[in-house]
Amino acid sequence: MHDMKRRFTLYGFGFVIGIMLVFFFLGGKNASCNWLPNDRMLKIIRSKQISYSKDVQNLIISKEIDSMDINLVLDNGNIDFSKSQTKNMPCREYLINGVNKQQNLALTVSICDSIAVIEKIKIGKN
């Protein structure tokens, strides 16, 4: 019995030290683990310089869509890998579906080396 109590004490002590080390090394950083393909690709797209095609710029100018809506889809959207062209070279093309307050949005995004271009936006009502 005494031996079991000692084991739990040592385990608890090591566990507390491990938690403190994790908070020390990762506490101030914006660390995240994106294991799923959808989350990884959205993070890659957001990390690149974002540019808009002429058609998308016209939608923004005419106030049919807002750049905040585009950013919301890039944060929380779902990539339709079956309709995306992931093997294209030099730029891959992804279809990202998302929702803002009143509309369904489908973004077509081309990802090149250092830039992501929003090529098309399809707007549908909820």
Per residue in 22-69, pLDDT (tens digit) is: 888 777 666 666 778 888 899 999 999 999 999 999 988 888 888 888
Sheet holding 78-79, edge to edge: 49-52, 115-125, 103-111, 92-99, 78-79
* Measured distance CA(53)–CA(8) in Å, rounded: 61
* Measured distance CA(126)–CA(123) in Å, rounded: 10
Strands of the chain (E only): list them: 49-52, 78-79, 92-99, 103-111, 115-125
Widest Cα–Cα separation across the chain:
76
Cβ atoms of residues 45 and 94 within 8 Å: yes
Token digits for 94? 């992804």
Per residue in 58-105, pLDDT (tens digit) is: 988 888 888 888 899 999 899 999 999 888 888 899 999 998 877 899
Domain positions in the chain: 1-31, 35-125
Residue for token pair 């905040």? 68
Token digits for 40? 């990884």
